[in-house]
A and B are shown apart, each in its own frame.
Chain A
Amino acid sequence: MGDRPLTADEFLAAERLGEDAVLEGAELQHVFWTMRGRNKELERREAFWAATNQALEAAYAELESAKHALDLARTELERTNAELEQRVSEQVEEIVARAREVERLNAELRLQVQSRSRELAEALRKLERGRADALAPGQLFAQRFRLQRTLGAGGMGVVFHAEDTATSDPVALKVLRPHLNADVAHLQRFLSEAETASLLDDPRLVRTRQVDVSDSGRLFLVMDYIEGRTLADFLEAGRVIPGLACRLAAGIARALEAAHRSGVVHRDIKPRNIMVARDAPVVRLLDFGIAALLSSDTASGEALGTPRYLSPEQARGLPTTPSSDIYSLGVILYQMLEGRLPFDARTPKEWLQAHREADPRAMHAEHVLAELTQACLAKRSAERPRALALAETLDTLADERGAPAGPVLAHTLHQPATLLSLMQL
């Protein structure tokens, strides 16, 4: 630079200054203000950029916050989607599993139906070949049962005391008459009901062990053999003393209660289907499901024999309920107390009409017994007592009249000498 002072421009343009560089006067003033001016401008620019950066940071923070919210929403959406997919997948699996199960059950059902149909067809074939062979003690029936003696005979068939040669057990063998070889619908129903009844497990209910068709086409039932007589045998002698009538009716009611509790209705309660055994329980019921073999033509009653014990609803061809059995018990109770049946009817048609419409004949029995009997004979099923309540009332009445019970009753009833004296008034 030399000896002279620097100009302002030289000073500002210099990249380096010598130790002897001088700036003075107006040039110095100029440099001073220029530097100050630049500083001021820098300050203004800094303030501007600070404000701008602040705004940018705020905007960025907002953007970050929005991004975070978006990420959260996206994560939630993905989670929800995954959850939905999982649920849909599970539901699809469940549906497929159920469909497979349904298919399996259908296949099983088809097999069962086919098997049943084959059994039924075989039974029908045998039945079609059925002939009214004379059966007699000593014969071997169905290649298994040795007939011992005839226990009874009626419209439905013959009952034999027989020996199961396979087990040596004594059995009651009921061979049904050929004309009862029913159509497919009745046969199916009978088999179904007999099967249900075979599952009943109560000592008051005589178990049906087997239902089958013999090679000669005879439908038969194998039942437990009970030592004793049917109630019909006892009623042949006439009226029964009230206490004993109550005790026997209570036994029938308790047996009905056991069946009804299992959802089974007998539908053919009559003295011939009631056993009076030689041991306790004294009263036992026979022939569950037999009613299913009967024709639907109950109006004529031709297939029933005499419909003396039918309930009003059965007389009308309506479905039966446990209360229908109670009505039949009411007819038996009336018969025991009065020595006659509640209606003066002669033909099946008259019986059916009487059950439907007529009032029972007036009773001579004690008022309380008559009232209870009339309750059992109510035309409307809902008005009849239930089996258990009826049994308890009858037992109480029997106790009040000093009637024996349990083994004593059984022993007493089967003493030949006392039979008539106890039964007759």
Chain B
Amino acid sequence: MDSEHDELEMVGFFLHSFLRAAVNINALLPGDDVEQLLAADPASWYPASAFTGRMDALAERFTDFEPIQQRIGEEMMRLWFEFGPGRQIVTTSVDFLRFQTGSEGYRSVIRGPDHLVGAFDLVALDESAGTASVRSSTPFVRPMERGVLLGGLQLAGDTVYVDVVQDPADPDLFHIEYH
């Protein structure tokens, strides 16, 4: 995400979720002024730079940051499911796909000019084949979104196999397979 997008704002809950996930996978240590950031009001909106700044600081610690970003995304979904409204919303993996790509999903955690906010749209779904495609135009990094999809698709417990890959020719397009 470009930290210059100061017009973008994120809800405090999202920041909490991100920080908690990073701490849980030991990418962040509790002493790294996490407590100060966690003091933010979960219902309030904050400049997106609060998220991007922290992400950039994390990136400096890892030579290969993508697996970490992906894992954060997965953990954020687990926290949402275990401690947030996720359990009430998602009963099947398809429910998650529909929810996340709808206005109550992505658009519930970020706001700002449309061209900056972007979208996270379900563009194809074949339930019998267990495949789907999602296109992202959000300012979030793709590895983390891949993690969100991976984590979210396993929340309901109705899948034994999940894989999410980016289209080699179109990195904004995720191809999903689940069984």
Binding site for B on A (CB under 8 A): 29-30, 33-34, 36-37, 40, 44, 47-48, 50-52, 54-55, 58-59
Contacts and interface: CB of A to CB of B under 8 A. Distances in A.
Interface string B133-156: 000000000000000001000000
Given A33-B179, A58-B63, A59-B61, A52 B159 contact: no
B161 A51 contact: no
Given A40-B163, A52-B68, 16 more contacts: A34-B160, A34-B161, A37-B159, A37-B160, A37-B161, A37-B179, A44-B70, A47-B64, A48-B67, A51-B62, A51-B64, A52-B62, A52-B67, A55-B61, A55-B62, A58-B61
A29 B128 CA distance: 14
A51 B27 CA distance: 11
Main secondary structure of the interface of A (DSSP, over half): helix
A54 B150 contact: no
Interface secondary structure of B, over-half rule? loop
A30 B161 CA distance: 9
Contact of A50 (B25, B61, B67): B67
Contacts of B26: 52
Interface in B48-66: 61-66
Contacts of B63: 51, 54-55, 58
Contact of A54 (B64, B70, B71, B161): B64
A51 B71 CA distance: 11
B116 interface: no
Contact residues on B (Cβ < 8 Å of other chain), bracket: 20 to 34
B162 interface: yes
B76 to A, nearest CB: 14
B62 A54 contact: yes
Contacts of A36: 161
Contacts of A55: 61-63
Contacts, number: 50
A47 B143 CA distance: 13
Contacts of A44: 67, 70-71, 150
B67 A51 contact: yes
Contacts of B27: 52
Interface string B153-174: 0000001111100000000000
Contacts of A40: 161-163
27 contacts: A33-B161, A34-B160, A34-B161, A36-B161, A37-B161, A37-B162, A40-B161, A44-B67, A44-B70, A44-B71, A47-B67, A48-B67, A48-B68, A48-B71, A50-B64, A51-B62, A51-B66, A51-B67, A52-B26, A52-B62, A52-B68, A54-B62, A55-B61, A55-B62, A58-B61, A58-B63, A59-B61
B68 A51 contact: yes
Nearest 8 CB-CB pairings of A with B: A37-B161, A33-B179, A34-B160, A47-B67, A51-B67, A33-B161, A51-B64, A48-B67
A307 B30 CA distance: 106
A52 B25 CA distance: 10
A55 B64 CA distance: 8
Contacts of B67: 44, 47-48, 50-52
Contacts of A37: 159-162, 179
A58 B65 CA distance: 13
Given A44-B67, A47-B67, A51-B68, A33 B160 contact: yes
A37 B71 CA distance: 16
Contacts of B71: 44, 48
Interface string B31-56: 00000000000000000000000000
A30 B179 CA distance: 8
A34 B67 CA distance: 22
Nearest to A39: B161
Contacts of B162: 37, 40
A45 to B, nearest CB: 9
Interface in B109-129: none
Contacts of B65: 51
Nearest to A46: B67
B66 to A, nearest CB: 8
A36 B68 CA distance: 22
